[in-house]
Structure 1
Amino acid sequence: MLVELFFLSGCQNDCGYPTQMSPQQLQKLVFVTGNKNKLLEVQDILKGTVDLVSHSLDLPELQGTPEDIAAEKCKIAANMLQGPCITEDTCLCYNALNGLPGPYIKWFMQSVGHEGLNKLLAGYEDKSAYALCTFALSKGPGHEPIIFDGRTPGKIVPARGPTHFGWDAVFQPDGFNETYAEMDKDIKNTISHRYRALEKLKAYLASQQE
């Protein structure tokens, strides 16, 4: 499974990654992803905080709660790299379905598309949902990952706007008349689930440099 993953740069070991984090190393991150849209969004949100470059990595498929999946992926990645890393997982959770599709939204999206995501709620009056982003930071092998999550409430609607960025076209955040896909990126990047998780991550990274 291809997942999104940050590696902290500045390593002196065989893998090319640091075994311990320093203030200097926290200034540069490598985002491992095959999703160029997500890369651009994260770069925009972290602009002025850290330098971001992209790379990709395959990790095994996992199941469980969003936090369990994020933590386990981060542990596996840290062990593979023998160094610190940060992983990211994104969920779309329907309240009527007790949080599903949740962490499996990517596979639902690939299987049934935007129309299918709407049909999942065809028998329910409650169309409310929330977008959830979870980052997990490991300081290296043997370290328990630190979790940073962000949540944006909204509802599921028929697809509107560009359809090239996952399920954005069917999610309309509360307080807005536009779906994520229809929004100006500068607006989305100040209210999205990813933005809220990254704000917590940025605060933590800043605290490590004090």
Structure 2
Amino acid sequence: MSTNTLPKLIFVTGNKNKLLEVQAILEGVIDVDSHKVDLPELQGETQEIAKQKCKLASEILNGPCITEDTALCFNAMNGLPGPYIKWFQDSIGHVGINKMLDGFDDRSAYALCTFGYCEGPGHEPIIFEGKTHGKIVTARGPGVFGWDAIFQPDGFDKTFAELDKVTKNSISHRGKALDALKAYFKEKK
């Protein structure tokens, strides 16, 4: 008699909102727990940051893990602030981020999520990305989860913060990246 147990992964994050979203998206496919690890803030392109971060985390944890990097990229600014959006959000908030685009005709943007998965020390991380196109708008909805209140995905009249969780997870950059991760683990079975 065989038991069908789910693969277990450690998601390296201290962000409870991210953990809840990741658990909801991976439910029934991968069992996710979290562990906060203090990693250096790396600079560079999103995929390179994700690979280095995941490799470091797997060495610290001495086992398999997933890490995530999220970028918010303004088309008018050639992709900036990109992976540095967290620092902009913490420093100038929703209003300041909106002001960054004052004077530009283009308020279009895309949200980019890059997950790294590493089997453990000595292994090369595998990268999974998801992208959602939209635009930067005046904050609407709860302002409790990063920049969700100022990002309105294309085809919707609501911001990520205003959408119900199921809808958001089905169209979000994070959901798309995790769909690729799920497909990888299903193929691996």
2:66 to 81, 86, 97: 86
Q: Say whether residues 1:201 and 2:181 are aligned partners.
A: yes
Q: Say whether the 8 Å CA contact 2:13–2:67 is kept in structure 1.
A: no
Q: Say whether residues 1:107 and 2:93 are aligned partners.
A: no
CA RMSD of aligned residues (A): 1.4
Secondary structure of 2:123's counterpart equals coil
1:102 offset after TM fit, Å? 0.6
Counterpart for residue 118 of structure 1 = 98
Q: Say whether the 8 Å CA contact 1:26–1:205 is kept in structure 2.
A: no
1:26 offset after TM fit, Å? 5.9
Alignment of 1:83-162 (within 5 A): 83-162=63-142
Secondary structure of 2:132's counterpart equals strand
Q: Say whether the 8 Å CA contact 2:9–2:64 is kept in structure 1.
A: no
Counterpart for residue 162 of structure 2 = 182
Counterpart for residue 30 of structure 1 = 10
Amino acid in structure 2 at the alignment position of 1:66: T
Residues in 2 aligned to 1:175 and 1:163: alpha-carbon distance in whole angstroms = 21
Residues in 2 aligned to 1:113 and 1:107: alpha-carbon distance in whole angstroms = 9
Amino acid in structure 2 at the alignment position of 1:103: P
1:83 offset after TM fit, Å? 2.2
Secondary structure of 1:189's counterpart equals helix
Identity among equivalent positions (%) equals 66
Relative to the length of structure 1, the TM-score reads: 0.85
Deviations 1:22-71 (A, max 9, x none): xx886122223221111111111111112222221101121001111001
Where structure 2 has 5 or more consecutive residues not aligned to the other structure, the ranges are: none
Secondary structure of 2:146's counterpart equals coil
Secondary structure of 1:166's counterpart equals coil
Amino acid in structure 2 at the alignment position of 1:65: E
The aligned length equals: 186
1:173 offset after TM fit, Å? 0.2
Where structure 1 has 5 or more consecutive residues not aligned to the other structure, the ranges are: 1-23
Q: Say whether the 8 Å CA contact 1:137–1:147 is kept in structure 2.
A: yes
Deviation beyond 3 Å, 4+ runs, structure 1 = none
Residues in 2 aligned to 1:188 and 1:78: alpha-carbon distance in whole angstroms = 29
Q: Say whether residues 1:52 and 2:24 are aligned partners.
A: no
Residues in 2 aligned to 1:80 and 1:205: alpha-carbon distance in whole angstroms = 23
